[in-house]
């Protein structure tokens, strides 16, 4: 079963509803990969005990 398959209005309606809830856009796999790459890089050497939220601004609402 795919996301939105049983959602009233079908998958297209479900995706439009989800897009409207995200200030930027729906997250793509590359967005998550970039967050992981940052945390694994030397630039993140002082990042400790933190959560990096990669959700396109969804939780900032």
Contact 44, 38 (CB under 8 A): yes
The tens digit of pLDDT for each residue in 6-60 reads: 777 888 888 888 888 877 877 889 999 999 999 999 999 999 988 888 888 888 8
pTM: 0.62
The tens digit of pLDDT for each residue in 4-14 reads: 457 778 888 88
User: Taking the CB of residue 15, how many other CB atoms lie within 10 A of it?
Assistant: 14
Q: Which residue has the tokens 């809830």?
A: 21
């Amino acid at each position: 079963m795919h996301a939105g398959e049983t959602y009233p209005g079908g998958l297209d309606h479900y995706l439009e509803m989800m897009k409207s809830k995200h200030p930027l856009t729906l997250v793509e796999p590359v967005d998550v990969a970039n967050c992981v790459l940052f945390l694994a890089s030397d630039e993140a050497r002082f990042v400790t005990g933190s959560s990096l939220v990669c959700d396109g601004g969804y939780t900032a609402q």
